[in-house]
Structure 1
Amino acid sequence: MRKQRRRRSRALVGAVAVTAVLGVAGCDVIGGSPSGPDAGRTRASRAVQVWNRSPASIAAVGDSITRGFDACTVLSDCPEVSWATGTSDQVDSLAVRLLGRAKAADHSWNYAETGARMADLPGQMADAAVRRPQLVTVMAGANDACRSSVRAMTSVADFRAQFEDAMDTLRKALPKTQVYVASVPNLKRLWSEGRTNPLGKQIWKLGICPSMLGDADDLTSAATLRRDRVQQRVEDYNKVLKAVCAKDRRCRFDGGAVYEYRFGTDQLSHWDWFHPSTDGQSRLAAIAYRTITAKDPVT
């Protein structure tokens, strides 16, 4: 009887030990792949614990939107009103919202370039990594669709490869830096809003996004098809941004919020009626801030 009791006792202790080990493995926020009905909640919890909603420094990469192009004067950058790193009181940029006005100027850096396409992003990422920011913001892709013609647009496959290259460049230098990725804006809506302004249409003739904005008043089936093809490419780019970002647990996509935002004339530059105005820049900052500070990532 005593031997039988000892064997049952040892078996019970062993079972408890195994259960404890499995329980710890299932709750570890770094390792383990729990299964069962709570698996999804555990994975979501792991992502939340990894994400820091209060980064202490910011670097921005991207194109003319992040440079504040045409927001202050015609055909000129105006980085002080940038949605990402600007210091202007008119915008209340992401840097100001996250870091406070006193620290924003010294702890945020803007490496975006007017005219940049996704192919330029790896180089910008390399430059940004030197600063060792805790957060990098990405807004790129509009210029890949805004080409001289539909045929000249960046292919979806190349766009994906270039974005993956940019993320790899950052990760090799800064494995734990967080990334916020904004969706490409709805270019067709910008055309629809801006074409109501005669001055804007004259500026468009200087070469702003000809694939979408060229012959702005042409409503023939050929012109409509051209704009629809540009719009479809933008939507395909956004699918790429979402998919690539989803593979990195320290990356958050805006869920299409910038694409879906209904820019009106107040949010568009009164120089070219296409790029964001200071008010539009402020709206972009608000979208980014909501995404970055949210408890859970947008799915």
Structure 2
Amino acid sequence: MRLRTAVSTSGLAVLLLISGCTSSGDDGNQDDTAGSTAAPGQSGGPADEGTTPSDGSAPVLLALGDSISVGFGACGEATACPEASWVTGEDPAVDSIRARLAEAWGVTDVPTSNFARPGAMAADLAGQAQRIVPTDGEGLVTVLVGSNDVCTGSVAAMTSPEEFRAAIDQVLQTVGERAPGAVTVLASVPGVASIYASFRGDSQARDAWAATRVCRSLTGSASGSPEADGERVAAVQERVDQLNEQLAAACAAVDNCVYDAGAVHDWLPEPDDLSDVDAFHPSTTGQAELAEAVWDAAAGTQQMDALAP
């Protein structure tokens, strides 16, 4: 699916972004099925900080989030792989949002900045959004967060729905204040509990989880019986559902926001869609599927169409 509106690029203002800062989430200490480092205390590395600013003839794309958006593990190493990012990546195999926007707008490339960081939780994203230089220009901001809010050291340590909503409201407020012409696309929290349940019987996946200590609230007892896992998996799934409800409500409460209606959450990967590093982060093919899921949810919406000059 491609953006249904035929968009001319003339007159489309540019969303200018700050480079060179670090976000509060760049600590790499959170377990993250879709947003942290492969092992506690191990940094996933910085994301691509962005391309040369546009001359004003193309829209600008900004990514906020955790390690999924920096392509952590997608290239077979326990580090960020910016070229494989579902948002800003340049790998043709991914067909990222960047590539899809360029095609839709009829430009060679889209200027991008990726401020996502491994380990980031919802509370960290307002700091990422603060890196936007105030502007009245137009652009697209993607937000994918929440995995670290449920992939904690224990079920009891998961972020509450109230805390999560307050953090998302702050992100949307910050984007709205600094770039009121930008459209924000909120991706749903991935279905980490479903992914865990699907691969729990795979010995290679269990070995990878044990070695990397990824998402301990789910995988901490992966060697136990299915019965013992039941309550823990149900609790994580319930919290994911609650956080996605908060995302939908927060997005509906502001202008220029598109929620993916659960597209990322509903993604259930095949083995090849997960990284060989930890069997939890998306591989290059997984990143490509996420790009398609988010694009299909956002393209052709009123907010996206409004970006046309």
**TM-score of the two chains, using structure 1 as the length reference:** 0.76
CA offsets, 1:54-88, max 9 Å, x none? 98110000011111111112321111100000001
Report SS of the residue matched to 2:155.
Answer: coil
What is the match of residue 101 of structure 2? 98
What is the match of residue 189 of structure 1? 194
Report SS of the residue matched to 1:232.
Answer: helix
Residues 217/128 of structure 1: CA separation in 2 closer, same or farther (3 Å cut) = farther
Residues 58/226 of structure 1: CA separation in 2 closer, same or farther (3 Å cut) = same
What is the match of residue 233 of structure 1? 239
Tell me if the contact between 1:188 and 1:231 (Cα under 8 Å) persists in the aligned partners. yes
1:109 is displaced (CA, Å) by 1.1
Greater percentage in helix: 1
Residues 121/295 of structure 1: CA separation in 2 closer, same or farther (3 Å cut) = closer
Tell me if the contact between 2:206 and 2:223 (Cα under 8 Å) persists in the aligned partners. no
CA offsets, 1:152-209, max 9 Å, x none? 1111110011111111111111112100011011112211233344333223123210
CA distance in 1, matches of 2:226, 2:281: 25
Structure 1 runs of 4+ aligned residues shifted over 4 Å read 52-55, 129-133
Tell me if the contact between 2:122 and 2:145 (Cα under 8 Å) persists in the aligned partners. yes
CA distance in 1, matches of 2:115, 2:196: 27
Tell me if the contact between 2:134 and 2:179 (Cα under 8 Å) persists in the aligned partners. no
1:288 is displaced (CA, Å) by 1.9
Of 154, 157, 179, 2:162 maps to: 157
Tell me if the contact between 1:194 and 1:274 (Cα under 8 Å) persists in the aligned partners. no
Deviates more, 1:67-76 or 1:232-241: 67-76
Q: Report the residue type matching 2:148 in the other structure.
A: N
Of 103, 117, 123, 1:119 maps to: 123
CA offsets, 1:97-151, max 9 Å, x none? 10248313xx011110011000101011111456866110000001000000011
CA distance in 2, matches of 1:271, 1:172: 39
Tell me if the contact between 1:204 and 1:213 (Cα under 8 Å) persists in the aligned partners. yes
CA distance in 1, matches of 2:61, 2:241: 27
Q: Of the two, which has the highest radius of gyration?
A: 1
Structure of greater relative contact order (alpha carbons < 8 Å, 6+ residues apart): 2
Q: Report the residue type matching 2:61 in the other structure.
A: I
Percent of residue pairs identical: 36
Deviates more, 1:224-233 or 1:208-217: 208-217
Tell me if the contact between 1:117 and 1:140 (Cα under 8 Å) persists in the aligned partners. yes
Tell me if the contact between 1:59 and 1:133 (Cα under 8 Å) persists in the aligned partners. no
Report SS of the residue matched to 2:167.
Answer: helix
1:289 is displaced (CA, Å) by 1.6
What is the match of residue 146 of structure 2? 141
Report SS of the residue matched to 2:129.
Answer: helix
Tell me if the contact between 1:57 and 1:99 (Cα under 8 Å) persists in the aligned partners. no
Gaps of 5+ in 1: 1-48
